[in-house]
Structure 1
Amino acid sequence: MTVVALSDRQHQPQNLTAPALPRMTVEAKLDYCRAFAASGLLPRQYRQQPANLLYAVEFAESLGLHPMVAITGVHVIEGKPTASSALISALVRRAGHRLRVKGDATSATAQIIRADDPDWTFEVTFTIEDARRAGLLGKDVWKKYPAAMLKARAISAVARDACEEALFGVHYTPEELGAVVDQEGNPVYAAGEIQRDTSEAPAAPAAVPPRDFLAEAEQAADAAAVRKVWDQAKTAGAPQPYLDQLTAIGLGKPGARVDQPTEGVVEAVVVEEHQDQDERAVALATMYDAAKSAGLSVEEADEAFLATFGHAPAEATVAELNEQRDDLLDALGVAA
């Protein structure tokens, strides 16, 4: 990968097409996320997951973006936010810098001319040989779309080099952190989780059963039919997160009861599951609000949480979120 400098002229800022929403209260955010989580058009990581949606809303707010931009363009890979090269390009241009990209299936070059230093051009070239040395050419997406992948690598690299402040902590694309992506650089989801590339790793037992139980559940006529699919998925060795998604699907089916829990999986866990989700969403929102009061961005709050508990807030318990909130409020001299 080659980094050089050239010269060019300054340009006018370019805005993202979707403006940010006005700042919302915690209650408004929660209502927004609960209502939105019911949509079947969302990426799987957000369906029936208001807490995950809240993370995206908070992250979008920190970037000054509309929540839909973060929901569709920002993907969390093992606790780290990533973005497609298209969104990284938009962030760079919104900051007022000029970005140029050219390339083919053998190499790609991306240039950035900063608005505050128009006489210096940052340039990164990523070649197919660079990809070969990095062991990327064995991936299916690199075999099918080498030109797109080369451009994405060049864009993210030059953006980190030239204007890291414009990225707000989104330094890498999902593919760079090992996710399996499509030709547009967006992660491929299976059973609600981002697939990881294992082309160069030893074979391991599949985390998701070979049958698409989620699709079968979505096509089921009622909650009782979903219960049968749930039983079959559990027998096949489906992990708990996968079973939880089947439960969430059953919630929206006729016959799903929340008033009289029974031994049926869908009926029995609905009340407890949604109470837990609501409690966790409130804890997450109040923790982020305390972080903002302490002058921390969402990314800084995440890093502080990771340093304390060893994992991201998106994976935290209610008790951990409340503990972090109380610590932040104590630092501000405010009673929890």
Structure 2
Amino acid sequence: MSKEITQYEAAGLDEKMRYVQTLSSAGELIPRGLHAAGKPSPGKVLLVCETGAMLGIHPMAAIAGINVIEGRATISPALMSGLIRKAGHKLRVSTAGTVEGGDFVATARLTRSDDPDFTYEVSWTPARAARAGLCKYEQQQGKWAVNARSKSGSALPWESYTEALCKARAIGEVAREGAEDCLMGVQYTPEEMGALVSEGGEMVATVDKPEPTEDWAALVAAVTTLAELKEIRDRANAADEYAANRALFLARSGEISRGEETAPAEAAPDENIVDAEVVDDEPATEETEAERYERESAAEFEAQATDG
């Protein structure tokens, strides 16, 4: 282990925080995956440096090869390969065929130094990527072609770098099968976590989540009756955004229902009643509107989960 790595590991938290604050001041020199609110995030940089220390690499190597996606550290194929070879294991990646010819295949073979008689082997092809839903792989005018487009029509990495990403997928899978002790839990590449990547597999950007069609939180908070809430729920269902906001709708349904139950009844006295016999109320047998709303919501959510 190098002297620099030992010094970083031996430093206290305050010293490490000053170190990452200094690194974060580098601005655009810090990879985009370590940014938050448009600038480098010291917290993300610290997470990456700590992950690098766990893997036994210099903080700068960690910053170059590790990205944080949705709070999870990911590792580039190049760094993954380097860690495996650094541990003394043999990793070989080969390709054969062509994408256009329909026979391209990328194969990664891993032989551990402590088990030289066995070789782990994983292959990835464009057809396998298509089966995984990463792209389309079809014949066009006598040639095979990969198609992977964003909603705006621009080419996605699987279309632009098909061969490279097949190799990256093969490396990642064979590493998880035969060299988990080298990865220490940092097992996935940025591309496997849904990020947009370069030809080398380094993260370029994360895929933006689509904005909701309406401000459901504000709409739900504004309704005062279950009928109004059901109307908003139907709109959310039509936009395919109800499942993500189901808890919001059910919470508001409960609030409205409790308000209706505690509201004092306002009934005008009937002057024609002279005498009356008080009898116990019969137990309600009909489903209340609130119960029906929650039952329908639960049924729809279950149906969506089953379809998914």
Shorter-chain TM-score bucket reads: 0.5 to 0.7
Q: 1:80 is aligned with what amino acid?
A: R
Report the counterpart of residue 55 of structure 1 in structure 2.
Answer: 47
| 1:179 to 1:18, Cα distance in 2 relative to 1, 3 A | farther
Cα offset, 1:78, TM superposition: 1.7
Residues 245-278 of structure 1: CA distance to partner in whole angstroms, max 9, x if unpaired?
Answer: xxxxxxxxxxxxxxxxxxxxxxxxxxxxxxxxxx
Alignment equivalent of 1:185, drawn from 175, 190, 201: 201
- Counterpart mapping for 1:1-336 below 5 A: 20-22=5-7, 23=9, 24-40=11-27, 41-44=29-32, 45-46=34-35, 47-103=39-95, 105=99, 106-137=104-135, 138=148, 140-189=156-205, 194-196=206-208, 204=211
Cα offset, 1:18, TM superposition: 11
Of the two, which has the highest radius of gyration?
2
Aligned equivalents of 1:172, 1:27: Cα separation in 2:
30
Which shows bigger deviation, 136-145 or 19-28? 19-28
Q: Percent identity?
A: 42
Residues 51-103 of structure 1: CA distance to partner in whole angstroms, max 9, x if unpaired?
Answer: 22211221111111111111121112222211111111011111111000011
Counterpart secondary structure, 1:20 = helix
Aligned equivalents of 1:19, 1:119: Cα separation in 2:
36
Residues 267-302 of structure 1: CA distance to partner in whole angstroms, max 9, x if unpaired?
Answer: xxxxxxxxxxxxxxxxxxxxxxxxxxxxxxxxxxxx
Q: 1:96 is aligned with what amino acid?
A: G
Counterpart secondary structure, 1:111 = strand
Relative to the length of structure 2, the TM-score reads 0.55
- Structure with greater proportional strand content: 2
Which shows bigger deviation, 163-172 or 98-107? 98-107
Counterpart secondary structure, 2:195 = coil
Relative to the length of structure 1, the TM-score reads 0.50
| Runs (5+) with no aligned partner, structure 2 | 136-147, 150-155, 214-308
CA contact (8 A) 2:24 2:41 kept: yes
Cα offset, 1:195, TM superposition: 2.6
Q: 2:91 is aligned with what amino acid?
A: L
| 1:85 to 1:50, Cα distance in 2 relative to 1, 3 A | same
Residues 144-180 of structure 1: CA distance to partner in whole angstroms, max 9, x if unpaired?
Answer: 1111000000000001111111111111111111112
Counterpart secondary structure, 2:203 = coil
Aligned-pair Cα RMSD in Å = 2.4
* Residues matched between the structures, number: 182
Report the counterpart of residue 233 of structure 2 in structure 1.
Answer: none
| 1:18 to 1:131, Cα distance in 2 relative to 1, 3 A | farther
Cα offset, 1:21, TM superposition: 4.8
CA contact (8 A) 1:21 1:66 kept: no
| 1:79 to 1:48, Cα distance in 2 relative to 1, 3 A | closer
Q: 1:195 is aligned with what amino acid?
A: V
Counterpart secondary structure, 1:185 = coil
| 1:117 to 1:108, Cα distance in 2 relative to 1, 3 A | same
CA contact (8 A) 1:100 1:111 kept: yes
Cα offset, 1:42, TM superposition: 1.0
CA contact (8 A) 1:188 1:195 kept: no
